[in-house]
């Protein structure tokens, strides 16, 4: 471990430049073994830095049911990663004592994305876990959601589960639904960010069959660099197509990120304007589809959508005012959205960046399945219940899964006989702009109300409020990033010019009041 380096287990584990990080991966292997002993179940370790550049890498732990590592263990992970080599044994003893970890067996599942550094870093994890006598299962290259899925199945009793099982499960779920709706006609082009998703999506598409869905893989990693001028994050933030992609109006295009847990769609309208269909629009499509089928099946369940402050104001208006669907807002980070989603019978959660899924508790799933065969219901009611059941089978409930979400979008469009045009017209986004500001210490910024208000420094929120008042449909918030040393700024307003202007003004306020460093943010 190098001296004077501090790392912390952030919203998505540890992340940073891959060189010199081996010790973090080694120690996380050890921590995973300890957690496995405590939980008496297998624990997952994923080696990936998601949408970050190719030279970065990262590591995160996955709990037994495929959920994110319990928050109480994040601080243990941080402490373990930061002690000197001399203090390591002592720190491990402390964790063992304080958590009352038994001397039982341990089992650790490891997988990695396609970065050049991932193989050796996953070996460091293996070494760490083996040092505690853990039985290690190296699953090699997988998408992050595939590892979540395999782990959850394994701990649920399916000890033979493997990658092939994932494809068979979702391919047959998709085919079953398409059997009851009509067959697909036009292809969908998927930019896989030159990442691990390319080979995996190809396998899934093969299992489904090209006669059922025509998936064209773009950026398969054969030549381009991972996440460079491509991928879900690039397309969302830049609001433009991946480099080199030749687009045609109204064709369906989608992008994954580097570990295939994010999905966004886009197209061109008839004037060749770029149209983005982001996580908000996918959530709106999923939620309205579920709500309509619940209604048609006369099933009464509590459906909710979970968003973050980044959700476009018009998506929130559409869902609340036009669709009457319940909405909750949480801070950024999958773990918060997921936790909130579980408080509904059916929870649809998405971040605008394209990470999201649906959670349904088993009791509700049973209720829907039973309704599909209920002789007291009409044929229409039973049909809607059956469709809903089959639709929910396509979803990877453990975490946002770009491949499953892609199939789910495709199935809904097919069932509704919608082109991408009808989908993007359900509401029109307010123009928006994101920016970042360098400050001396981003931790001095504290937020509340699901990151929609600044609490400290106390002068900042009144300043933002005053700026927002100047712009029709104006809204803006700022928050310290959990993955980068910056403060993030979001602004939306009635026109792009006003949104840009508001983002600029708010950035300056953050710089002036929040201890900005370097050049003043001007754009």
The answer to whether residues 211 and 224 touch, using CB atoms and an 8 Å cutoff, is: no
Q: How far is the CB of 400 from ligand 16G (least distance, A)?
A: 8
247: left (phi over 0), alpha (psi -120 to 50) or beta: beta
Decide whether 213 or 276 has the Cβ nearer to ligand 16G.
Answer: 276
Question: Would the annotation count 479 as a binding residue?
Answer: yes
Q: Is 11 in the site for ligand 16G (CB under 6 A)?
A: yes
Question: Would the annotation count 521 as a binding residue?
Answer: no
Question: Would the annotation count 488 as a binding residue?
Answer: yes
Residues 141-170 that bind ligand 16G (CB under 6 A): none
Question: Would the annotation count 50 as a binding residue?
Answer: yes
Decide whether 69 or 297 has the Cβ nearer to Zn ion.
Answer: 69
Provide the strand spans (E) within 330-481. Answer: 346-350, 356-360, 432-437, 446-448, 453-456, 475-480
Q: Is 351 in the site for ligand 16G (CB under 6 A)?
A: yes
Q: Examine the residue annotation and report whether 50 is marked as an active-site residue of this protein.
A: yes
**CA–CA separation, 47 and 108 (whole Å):** 13
259 binds, among Zn ion, ligand 16G, none (CB under 5 to 8 A by kind): Zn ion
Residues 16-55 that bind ligand 16G (CB under 6 A): 50
Which one, of 254, 252, 257, 316, lies nearest residue 284 by Cα? 316
482 binds, among ligand 16G, Zn ion, none (CB under 5 to 8 A by kind): ligand 16G
**CA–CA separation, 2 and 136 (whole Å):** 27
With CB under 6 A as the contact rule, the residue among 112, 200, 252, 355 that binds ligand 16G is 355
Query: Distance between the two ends of the chain, CA-based, in angstroms?
Result: 40
List 444's β-bridge partners, or say none: none
Question: Would the annotation count 302 as a binding residue?
Answer: no
Four-residue CA torsion sign, 337, 338, 340, 344:
positive
Residues 307-346 that bind ligand 16G (CB under 6 A): 332-334
Query: How many C-alpha atoms does 114 have within 13 Å on its Cβ side?
Result: 22
Residues in the chain, how many?
Answer: 523
The answer to whether residues 29 and 128 touch, using CB atoms and an 8 Å cutoff, is: yes
Q: Is 481 in the site for ligand 16G (CB under 6 A)?
A: yes
Phi and psi angles of residue 11, each rounded to the nearest 5 degrees, phi first: -55, -30
Residues 432-461 that bind ligand 16G (CB under 6 A): none
Q: Is 484 in the site for ligand 16G (CB under 6 A)?
A: yes
**Span from 183-191, 212-220, 294-302, 350-358 in contact with ligand 16G (CB under 6 A):** 350-358
**Interacting residues with Zn ion (CB under 5 A):** 50, 257, 259, 261
3-class state of residue 384 by DSSP: helix
Q: Which residue is catalytic, options 8, 19, 36, 50? A: 50
Here the tokens at position 407 are 């199939």
Decide whether 12 or 32 has the Cβ nearer to ligand 16G.
Answer: 12
Decide whether 482 or 515 has the Cβ nearer to ligand 16G.
Answer: 482
Helical ranges in 137-216 per DSSP H:
144-155, 163-180, 197-208
Question: Would the annotation count 127 as a binding residue?
Answer: no
The answer to whether residues 479 and 447 touch, using CB atoms and an 8 Å cutoff, is: yes
Question: Would the annotation count 351 as a binding residue?
Answer: yes
Decide whether 220 or 233 has the Cβ nearer to ligand 16G.
Answer: 233
* Residue in this structure with the two tokens 């049909």, named with its chain if needed: 383
Q: How far is the CB of 355 from ligand 16G (least distance, A)?
A: 5
Which one, of 255, 173, 166, lies nearest residue 216 by Cα? 255
Here the tokens at position 317 are 């208006």
Question: Would the annotation count 242 as a binding residue?
Answer: no
Close Cβ partners of 352 (under 8 Å, ≥ 6 residues apart): 236, 278, 279, 280, 307, 308, 310, 311, 312
- The size of the interface with ligand 16G (CB under 6 A), counted in residues, is 14
Q: How far is the CB of 393 from ligand 16G (least distance, A)?
A: 24
* Residue numbers belonging to the annotated binding site for substrate: 351-353, 479-483, 488
Contact residues: ligand 16G, CB under 6 A? 11-12, 50, 332-334, 351, 353, 355, 481-484, 488
* Residue numbers belonging to the annotated binding site: 50, 257, 259, 261, 351-353, 479-483, 488
Catalytic residue ranges? 50
* Residue numbers belonging to the annotated binding site for Mg(2+): 50, 257, 259, 261
């Amino acid at each position: 471990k190098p001296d004077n380096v501090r790392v912390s287990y952030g919203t998505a584990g540890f992340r940073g430049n891959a060189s010199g990080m081996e010790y973090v991966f080694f120690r996380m292997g050890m921590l995973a073994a300890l957690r496995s002993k405590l939980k008496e179940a297998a624990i997952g370790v994923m080696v990936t830095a998601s949408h970050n550049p190719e030279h970065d890498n990262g590591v995160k732990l996955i709990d037994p049911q495929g959920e994110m590592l319990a928050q109480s263990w994040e601080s243990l992970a941080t402490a373990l990663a930061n002690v000197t080599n001399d203090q390591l044994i002592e720190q491990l003893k402390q964790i063992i004592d304080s958590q009352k970890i038994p001397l039982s067996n341990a089992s650790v599942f490891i997988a990695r994305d396609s970065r050049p550094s991932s193989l050796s870093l996953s070996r460091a994890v293996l070494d760490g876990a083996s040092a505690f006598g853990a039985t290690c299962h190296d699953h090699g290259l997988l998408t992050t959601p595939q590892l979540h899925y395999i782990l959850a199945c394994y701990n649920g009793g399916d000890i033979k589960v493997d990658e092939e099982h994932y494809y068979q499960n979702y391919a047959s779920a998709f085919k079953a639904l398409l059997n009851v709706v009509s067959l697909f006609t036009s292809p969908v082009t998927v930019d896989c960010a030159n990442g691990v998703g390319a080979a995996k999506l190809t396998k899934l598409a093969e299992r489904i069959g090209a006669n059922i869905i025509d998936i064209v893989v773009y950026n398969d990693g054969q030549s381009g660099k991972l996440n460079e001028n491509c991928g879900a994050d690039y397309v969302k933030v830049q609001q433009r197509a991946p480099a080199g992609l030749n687009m045609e109006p109204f064709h369906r295009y989608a992008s994954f990120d580097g570990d295939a847990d994010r999905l966004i769609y886009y197209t061109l309208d008839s004037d060749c304007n770029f149209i983005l269909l982001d996580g908000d629009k996918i959530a709106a499509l999923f939620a309205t589809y579920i709500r309509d089928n619940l209604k048609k099946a006369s099933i009464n369940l509590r459906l909710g959508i979970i968003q973050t402050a980044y959700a476009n104001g018009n998506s929130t208006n559409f869902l609340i005012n036009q669709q009457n669907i319940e909405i909750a807002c949480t801070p950024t980070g999958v773990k918060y959205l997921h936790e909130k989603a579980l408080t509904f019978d059916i929870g649809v959660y998405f971040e605008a960046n394209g990470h999201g899924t649906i959670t349904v508790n088993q009791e509700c799933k049973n209720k829907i399945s039973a309704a599909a065969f209920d002789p007291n219901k009409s044929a229409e009611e039973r049909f809607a219940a059956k469709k809903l059941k089959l639709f929910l089978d396509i979803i990877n409930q453990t975490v946002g899964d770009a491949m499953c979400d892609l199939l789910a979008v495709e199935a809904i469009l097919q069932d509704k006989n919608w082109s991408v045009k009808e989908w993007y017209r359900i509401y029109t986004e307010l123009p928006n702009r994101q920016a970042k500001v360098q400050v001396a210490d981003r931790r001095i910024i504290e937020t509340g109300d699901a990151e929609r208000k600044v609490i400290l420094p106390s002068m900042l929120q009144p300043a933002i409020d005053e700026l927002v008042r100047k712009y029709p449909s104006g809204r803006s918030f700022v928050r310290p990033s959990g993955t980068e040393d910056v403060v993030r700024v979001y602004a939306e307003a009635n026109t792009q010019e006003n949104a840009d202007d508001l983002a600029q003004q708010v950035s300056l306020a953050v710089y002036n009041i929040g201890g900005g460093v370097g050049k003043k943010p001007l754009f």
